[in-house]
């Protein structure tokens, strides 16, 4: 009688190993994790265990790439999307998958229930839906079938405009999405198609708190700076993973930062162009004006530094809890002001070190902005200093005064500048939050009718070289009242001056 194969996988210690191997032999810039190379069999065996069928080390947690590729291939004959390009794209993802979040699946639309419209973005509509079957997690070797994870109640279905004529160029963008490391990026489980509109839809992880703006507006608790710095760290780590993969986000704004019960995730990698866009260059660029780097607005090549500029705007939005330029029209006049150094205000309760980092990120000169690695490492340092206390790690939305008390009583970080600033600014922030609770919260999110926060085609020509505003002031006083002056970056231009400037 043939011996039944056994489950020989090991639980992956994520404090020591990544969740899957690194195919490239180039070490990533995330130095806080042990990198497991594809050719390092002993490391793979130590990290993941071995496959109970082929006795080879796994390529990821509960995953054997060669064995699973064969299973996927044997099943190719049992499904089709009806589109050759889509079929081949999904098949390649399955053959090459080294982890359960590195493959795509064709999911027939009828498998989804309770489909509910949520919102409309720059390139499509977003729905929530239930998928009781769930995604493939691993091969159940003892029962000889796929084990599907079905604990999530909801998923996101993102339709893509004009995607009935989907092209290989767009599919290539999704391929780059799959090449990014897992953490910090919203997982994509597969592709489906609405039978009525014929538009293709991505099946994504559902973040119940919505986007970053929703998370801030709807929070019932004061979000302290310990939590905010940690969230910025997670976002920066996701952006670093994108840049390490050789990609650039190109549409980085708070609407594309999603938040589940605990963590923020970057979404829409590769979604900065219409689904049916061909290789012919469009006139203008796509994006959300307040988050776009000034050099991009005039048509210069999009670089990693442009993503850093966007990060600076997002960082200020998270820390100041104010939507950038929500009270003015997002038109060519705003574009000119941005070129002249106009930036969002930085709240008076933002710690000085964080404010300085924001200003560096949105500097008009790209070479003055920090690299993604520098940004990530600095946030790691600050996060470590703030969390180096003798108490337990409090909930991310902790409104308990114990947080401030533990900061006050801790003796380990009395020499940490960021620690001191956070302590003082949290006092101001808590009072500000309590005051806001007594008011109608909707007042804080009213926007100008021409303030547009979805990606769109922008075309601003003949803009001059970007400059920084000379009207930047910041002061952090360490006296008894700990008064903090807010940063202002104003550009005073009359409408006549703007019109004359635009005509030139």
Q: Within a domain: residue 484?
A: no
184 and 255 part of one domain: no
215 and 200 part of one domain: no
Q: How far apart are CA 393 and CA 403, in angstroms?
A: 9
How far does CA 463 lie from the centroid of its chain? 30
Dig out the tokens for 133 from the structure.
Answer: 């079957």
Question: What is the DSSP annotation of 322-349?
Answer: --TTTTS--SHHHHHHHHTT--PPBPTT
Residue 473 pLDDT > 60? no
The total number of residues shown for the chain amounts to: 504
Q: Within a domain: residue 39?
A: yes
210 close to 258: Cβ distance less than 8 angstroms: yes
User: What pLDDT is attached to residue 363?
Assistant: 95
Residue 480 pLDDT > 60? no
Least confident span in 65-74, 125-134, 449-458: 449-458
Q: Within a domain: residue 501?
A: no
**Dihedral pair phi/psi, residue 146, rounded to 5°:** -70, 135
302 close to 296: Cβ distance less than 8 angstroms: yes
Q: Is 485 helix (H, G, I), strand (E, B) or coil?
A: strand
**Dihedral pair phi/psi, residue 199, rounded to 5°:** -80, 140
Q: Within a domain: residue 352?
A: yes
190 and 291 part of one domain: no
Q: Within a domain: residue 302?
A: yes
Q: Which residues pair with 128 in a beta bridge?
A: 116, 156
Give residue-wise pLDDT tens across range 175-204: 766 777 667 888 889 999 999 988 888 899
Provide the pLDDT confidence category of residue 368 given band limits of 50, 70 and 90.
very high
220 and 315 part of one domain: yes
Provide the pLDDT confidence category of residue 33 given band limits of 50, 70 and 90.
low
Q: Within a domain: residue 271?
A: yes
Residue 220's contacts (CB-CB under 8 Å, 6 or more residues apart) are 397
> Residue 33, exposed/middle/buried by CB under 10 A (0-12, 13-18, 19+)?
middle
Q: Within a domain: residue 226?
A: yes
Residue of 207, 191, 295, 324 whose CA lies nearest to 256: 207
Mean pLDDT of 30-48: 74
Q: Within a domain: residue 500?
A: no
306 and 325 part of one domain: yes
Which one is predicted more confidently, 490 or 466?
A: 466
200 and 289 part of one domain: no
User: What pLDDT is attached to residue 491?
Assistant: 53
User: What pLDDT is attached to residue 191?
Assistant: 94
Which one is predicted more confidently, 53 or 479?
A: 53
358 and 330 part of one domain: yes
User: What pLDDT is attached to residue 476?
Assistant: 40
Residue of 334, 305, 286, 356 whose CA lies nearest to 448: 334
What is the domain-level CATH number for residue 252? 1.10.510.10
CA angle 413, 416, 421 (to 5 degrees): 110
- Residue 182 is part of which domain span? 8-205
66 and 101 part of one domain: yes
99 and 146 part of one domain: yes
Q: How far apart are CA 330 and CA 289, in angstroms?
A: 7
What is the domain-level CATH number for residue 61? 3.30.200.20
Provide the pLDDT confidence category of residue 17 given band limits of 50, 70 and 90.
confident
User: What pLDDT is attached to residue 490?
Assistant: 52
148 and 228 part of one domain: no
114 and 263 part of one domain: no
**Dihedral pair phi/psi, residue 360, rounded to 5°:** -65, -40
**Range 26-35, long-range pairs (CB < 8 A, 24+ positions):** 28/181, 28/241, 28/244, 29/240, 29/244, 29/372, 29/373, 29/376, 30/181, 30/237, 30/240, 30/241, 30/244, 30/376, 32/380
Give residue-wise pLDDT tens across range 327-351: 888 888 888 889 889 999 999 889 9
Q: Is 112 helix (H, G, I), strand (E, B) or coil?
A: coil
198 and 215 part of one domain: no
**Number of domains into which the chain is organized:** 2
Mean pLDDT of 269-287: 54
Q: At 411, which helix (H) or strand (E)?
A: none
């Amino acid at each position: 009688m043939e011996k039944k194969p056994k489950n020989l996988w090991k639980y992956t210690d994520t404090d020591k190993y990544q969740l899957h191997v690194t195919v490239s032999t180039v070490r990533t810039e995330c130095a806080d994790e042990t990198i497991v190379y594809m050719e390092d069999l002993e490391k793979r065996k130590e990290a993941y265990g071995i496959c109970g069928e082929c006795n080879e080390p796994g390529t990821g947690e509960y995953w054997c790439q060669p064995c699973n590729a064969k299973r996927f291939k044997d099943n190719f004959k049992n499904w089709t999307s009806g589109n050759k390009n889509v079929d081949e794209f999904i098949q390649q993802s399955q053959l090459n998958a080294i982890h359960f979040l590195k493959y795509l699946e064709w999911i027939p639309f009828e498998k989804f229930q309770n489909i509910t419209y949520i919102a409309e973005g720059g390139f499509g509509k977003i729905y929530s839906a239930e998928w009781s079957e769930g995604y493939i997690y691993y091969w159940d070797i003892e029962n000889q079938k796929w084990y599907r994870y079905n604990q999530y109640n909801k998923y996101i279905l993102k339709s893509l405009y004009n995607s009935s004529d989907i092209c290989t160029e767009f599919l290539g963008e999704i391929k780059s999405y799959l090449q990014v490391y897992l953490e910090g990026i919203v997982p994509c489980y597969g592709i489906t198609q609405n039978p009525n509109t014929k538009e293709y839809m991505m099946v994504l992880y559902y973040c119940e708190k919505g986007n970053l703006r929703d998370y801030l507006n709807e929070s019932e608790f004061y979000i302290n700076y310990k939590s905010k710095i940690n969230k910025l760290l997670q976002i920066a780590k996701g952006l670093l993973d994108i840049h390490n993969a050789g990609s650039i986000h190109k549409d980085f704004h708070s609407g594309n930062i999603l938040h589940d019960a605990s963590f923020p995730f970057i979404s829409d990698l590769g979604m900065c162009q219409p689904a049916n866009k061909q290789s012919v260059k469009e006139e203008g660029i796509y994006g959300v004006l307040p988050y776009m780097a000034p050099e991009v607005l005039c048509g210069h090549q999009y670089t990693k530094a442009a993503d850093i500029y966007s990060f600076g705007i997002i960082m200020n939005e998270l820390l100041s809890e104010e939507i950038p330029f929500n009270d003015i029209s997002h038109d060519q006049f705003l574009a000119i002001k941005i070129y002249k150094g106009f930036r969002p205000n930085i709240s008076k309760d933002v710690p000085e070190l964080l404010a300085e980092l924001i200003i560096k990120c949105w500097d008009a000169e790209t070479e003055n902005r920090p690299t993604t690695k520098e940004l990530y490492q600095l946030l790691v340092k600050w996060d470590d200093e703030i969390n180096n206390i003798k108490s337990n790690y409090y909930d991310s939305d902790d409104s308990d005064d114990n947080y401030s008390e533990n900061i006050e009583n801790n003796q380990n970080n009395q020499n940490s500048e960021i620690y001191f600033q956070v302590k003082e600014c949290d006092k101001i922030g808590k009072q500000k939050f309590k005051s806001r609770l007594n008011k109608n919260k909707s007042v804080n999110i009213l926007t100008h009718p021409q303030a547009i926060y979805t990606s769109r085609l922008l075309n601003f020509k003949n803009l001059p070289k970007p400059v920084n505003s000379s009207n930047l002031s910041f002061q952090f006083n360490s006296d008894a009242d700990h008064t903090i002056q807010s940063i202002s970056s104003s550009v005073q231009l009359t409408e006549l001056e703007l019109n004359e400037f635009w005509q030139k």
